[in-house]
């Protein structure tokens, strides 16, 4: 590698620091948005490190409960990082955003170091890192707290790649051990760390200074065994290897659609505008679909060129890098998304290396002007886009600007209006969402609820009955809402049947268990009521409302001894004990 003076290196780091904070400073004051509420704000498991080992064995510690936490997402180190943030400053969003920004900075500097050593071109490595750090497509990973897994796994695999360069020079077992440890940490951060294996093969093939083949093969065998071990652990915890079935119900539809998605990623890489957190990806059912044909020709042309060329330059390496980084999310094993901007986080480094390598072919003056123009454009776009992640309303409105027919965005706006007590606006948004996507029964339930709030019980029950008959996935929610309705009508026996069925279908439905406890209490079934409330509280990591209900139940039955017992129990596991302290003082 060329020797560079300390001043240029320090200047490069200073410029990266300057531009990253210039681009992302306004994200530091954003709030919790989208899945942040389930994964962070309402996730009681991050409020104590006593759950540390559960992060690796219980999905609820990462996902929380409710509709947003039903996917097979296994990222224990992300949960741990949230717990560390909580220890530092509670639920202040600033510290979570600051951690994300520092992680993004770390990944950028590590990529700069890696590309310096790999390309032996200081200027190309610097421009690649600078473009990577301010690229607007990174916002979904950086400005969204729940996107932290992308930076954590990215940090660990880039560290692995740096260590791999040392391994190639001198294949010592210590380097192999460090790479293996970093790989394990990456896997427990996000499953996309599986892309390290193809990236290592790619680096070995293109590296000009590489060791003998046999040490590399031994390392790959070890990492493959670790990959298998991770998959088995993940399977044990999640109960399934995939997050669902193939899109469109068949492997064929998934494959055809993913070919078109690759073109979307290419567009996102070089034209990162009109960003959308809820993209609507049309499924491709026919080989004769024009979009598929065009995408297949383009992807095939690139693959043929890559396979046939004998060149081992940075441009060819960069394209292979993008493909390798996306392998885990190409729905070979089905996941819950066809396409997402955050999936391109590490892949963007390859795209920006390609851009820097191509620009390096033109004259110096034009090259510098081009770099400045792109960096400024990216910075402005990033600052503007960060504002869309300020809160839920801004985020859903940004989706609608890109896609006025997006049903999920209108449902999100409806939820915000409902939480604000604006039932009329909530009803209008839910109604529009339901019209755009009548098959989304989560929206159906929300719309039904607004009919009930307006006093239209008949329509409310009709919609819920329809949901019961047409959607297995949302059946527990429909049953719970009917049960609550019957509770209000004091039809306790009928309500009990609905609530018992709801919790039998979803054993993690904390709200339904709480309602079941109320129903048992009205029926004077003490043991059943207390058991239901205790289950509800434990499902949310010490939820205080069910425990409060137990105390009130015993006070109403003038059983002061048991009331004090559960007050003492609640004070040991609940974060905010003020209400229980007040109850205890009033009793004494």
Provide the sign of the torsion angle of the four alpha carbons 213, 214, 220, 221, taken in this order.
Answer: positive
Residue-level pLDDT at 577 = 76
| 358-389: b (≥16 Cβ within 10 Å) or e | ebeeeeeeebeeebeebbeebbebbbebbebb
Higher pLDDT, residue 456 or 296: 296
Average the pLDDT over 455-466 and give the result: 84
C-alpha to C-alpha distance for 294 and 301, rounded to whole angstroms: 11
Higher pLDDT, residue 92 or 61: 92
Residue 6 has pLDDT above 50, yes or no: no
Burial class (CB in 10 A: 0-12, 13-18, 19+), 111: buried
Residue-level pLDDT at 4 = 40
Average the pLDDT over 516-526 and give the result: 91
Indicate the CATH number for domain 488-588.
1.25.40.10
Residue-level pLDDT at 367 = 85
Q: Give the model's confidence band at 67: pLDDT under 50 very low, under 70 low, under 90 confident, else very high.
A: very low
Instruction: Count CB neighbours of 583 within 10 A.
Output: 19
Q: Give the model's confidence band at 210: pLDDT under 50 very low, under 70 low, under 90 confident, else very high.
A: low
> 279-332: per-residue pLDDT in tens?
989 999 999 999 999 999 999 998 888 887 777 788 899 999 999 999 999 999
Average the pLDDT over 40-46 and give the result: 85
Residue-level pLDDT at 71 = 62
SS3 labels along 75-126 = CHHHHHHHHHHHHHHCCCHHHHHHHHHHHHHHHHHHHHHHHHHHHCCHHHHH
C-alpha to C-alpha distance for 195 and 201, rounded to whole angstroms: 10
Q: Rounded mean pLDDT of the chain? A: 89
Structure tokens at 78: 């992300």
> 479-512: per-residue pLDDT in tens?
898 899 899 889 989 999 999 999 998 888 889 9
- Residue that has been written with the tokens 């209000």 in this structure: 488
Q: What is the pTM of this model?
A: 0.87
Residue-level pLDDT at 551 = 87
According to the per-residue pLDDT averaged within each range, which of 29-33, 61-65, 470-474 is highest?
29-33
DSSP per residue, 193-233? GGGHHHHHHHHHHH-SS---HHHHHHHHHHHHHHHHHHHHH
Q: How far is CA 108 from CA 81, 228, 346, in A?
A: 19, 29, 10
Residue-level pLDDT at 1 = 42
The closest alpha carbon to 117, from 17, 181, 209, belongs to 209
Residue-level pLDDT at 70 = 55
Indicate the CATH number for domain 405-471.
1.25.40.10
Residue 63 has pLDDT above 70, yes or no: no
C-alpha to C-alpha distance for 149 and 185, rounded to whole angstroms: 11
Choose the weakest-confidence range: 361-365, 405-409, 487-491.
Answer: 361-365
Question: Does 488-588 match 405-471 at the fold level?
Answer: yes
Residue 65 has pLDDT above 50, yes or no: no
Q: Could you state, in order of their start, the residue ranges of all structural domains in the chain? A: 6-388, 405-471, 488-588
Within 360-440, residue ranges assigned H as helices are 364-388, 392-402, 407-419, 423-436
Choose the weakest-confidence range: 37-41, 159-163, 396-400.
Answer: 37-41
> 237-269: per-residue pLDDT in tens?
888 888 888 888 899 999 999 999 999 999 999
Residues 6+ apart with CB under 8 A from 93: 30, 31, 32, 36, 145
Residue-level pLDDT at 87 = 93
Instruction: Count CB neighbours of 232 within 10 A.
Output: 11
Q: Name the percent of the chain lying above pLDDT 70.
A: 96
Instruction: Count CB neighbours of 107 within 10 A.
Output: 29
Structure tokens at 542: 């010490």
Residue-level pLDDT at 444 = 84
Choose the weakest-confidence range: 345-354, 431-440, 578-587.
Answer: 578-587
In the chain the first and final C-alpha atoms are separated, in Å, by 76
Q: Name the percent of the chain lying above pLDDT 90.
A: 55
Average the pLDDT over 551-565 and give the result: 88
Higher pLDDT, residue 394 or 122: 394
Instruction: Count CB neighbours of 331 within 10 A.
Output: 22
Contact 179, 164 (CB under 8 A): yes
Residue-level pLDDT at 69 = 44
Residue 462 has pLDDT above 60, yes or no: yes
Residue 127 has pLDDT above 60, yes or no: yes
Residue-level pLDDT at 388 = 95
Residue-level pLDDT at 138 = 96
Residue-level pLDDT at 146 = 93
DSSP per residue, 114-172? HHHHHH--HHHHHHHHHHHHH-GGGHHHHTSGGGHHHHHHHHHHHHHHHHHHHHHHS--
Residue-level pLDDT at 566 = 86
Residue-level pLDDT at 499 = 92
Q: How far is CA 339 from CA 154, 261, 264, 280, 466, in A?
A: 18, 7, 8, 9, 31
């Amino acid at each position: 590698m060329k020797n560079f003076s300390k001043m240029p290196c320090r200047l490069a780091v200073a410029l990266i620091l300057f531009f990253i904070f210039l681009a992302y400073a306004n994200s530091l004051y954003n709030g919790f948005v989208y899945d942040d509420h389930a994964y962070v704000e309402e996730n009681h498991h991050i409020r104590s490190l006593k759950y540390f080992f559960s992060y690796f064995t219980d999905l609820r510690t990462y996902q929380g409960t409710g509709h947003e936490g039903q996917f097979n997402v296994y990222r224990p180190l992300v949960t741990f990082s949230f717990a560390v943030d909580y220890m530092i400053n509670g639920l202040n969003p600033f510290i979570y955003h600051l951690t994300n920004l520092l992680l993004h900075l770390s990944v950028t500097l590590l990529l700069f170091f890696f590309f310096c050593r790999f390309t032996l071109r200081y200027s190309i490595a610097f421009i690649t890192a600078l473009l990577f750090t301010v690229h607007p497509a990174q916002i979904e990973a950086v400005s969204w707290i729940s996107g932290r897994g992308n930076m954590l796994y990215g940090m660990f695999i880039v560290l692995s790649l740096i260590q791999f360069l040392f391994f190639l020079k001198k294949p010592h077992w210590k380097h192999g051990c460090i790479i293996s440890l970093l790989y394990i940490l990456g896997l427990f951060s996000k499953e996309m760390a599986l892309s390290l294996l193809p990236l290592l093969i790619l680096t070995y093939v293109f590296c000009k200074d590489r060791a003998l083949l046999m040490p590399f093969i031994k390392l790959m065998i070890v990492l493959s065994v670790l990959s298998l071990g991770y998959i088995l652990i993940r399977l044990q915890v999640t109960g399934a290897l995939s997050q669902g079935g193939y899109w469109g119900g068949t492997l064929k539809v998934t494959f055809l659609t993913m070919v078109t998605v690759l073109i979307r990623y290419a567009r996102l890489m070089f034209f990162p505008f009109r960003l959308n957190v809820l993209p609507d990806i049309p499924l491709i059912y026919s080989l004769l679909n024009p979009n598929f044909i065009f995408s297949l020709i383009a992807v095939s042309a690139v693959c043929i060129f890559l396979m046939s060329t004998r060149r081992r330059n940075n441009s060819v390496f960069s394209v292979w890098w993008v493909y390798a980084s996306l392998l885990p999310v190409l729905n070979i094993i089905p996941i819950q998304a066809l396409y997402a901007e955050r999936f391109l986080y590490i892949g963007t480094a390859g795209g920006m290396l390609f851009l820097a390598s191509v620009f390096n072919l033109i004259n110096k003056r034009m090259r510098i002007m081009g770099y400045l123009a792109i960096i400024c454009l990216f910075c402005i776009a990033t600052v503007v886009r960060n504002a869309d992640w300020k809160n839920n309303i801004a985020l859903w409105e940004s989706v609608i600007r890109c896609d006025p027919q997006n049903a999920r965005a209108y449902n999100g706006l409806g939820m915000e209006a409902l939480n604000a007590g604006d039932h009329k606006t909530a009803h209008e948004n839910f109604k529009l969402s339901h019209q755009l996507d009548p098959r989304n029964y989560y929206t159906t339930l929300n719309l039904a609820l607004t009919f009930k709030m307006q006093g239209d019980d008949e329509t409310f029950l009709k919609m819920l009955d329809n949901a019961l008959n047409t959607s297995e996935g949302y059946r527990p929610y429909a049953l719970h809402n009917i049960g609550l309705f019957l509770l209000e009508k004091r039809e306790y026996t009928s309500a009990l049947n609905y609530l018992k069925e709801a919790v039998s279908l979803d054993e993690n439905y904390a709200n339904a268990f709480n309602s079941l406890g109320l129903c048992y209490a009205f029926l004077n079934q003490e043991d059943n009521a207390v058991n239901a409330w205790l289950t509800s509280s434990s499902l949310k990591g010490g939820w205080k409302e069910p425990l409060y209900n137990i105390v009130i139940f015993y006070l109403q039955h003038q059983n002061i001894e048991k009331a004090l017992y559960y007050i003492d129990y609640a004070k040991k596991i609940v974060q905010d004990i003020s209400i229980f302290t007040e109850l205890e003082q009033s009793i004494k």
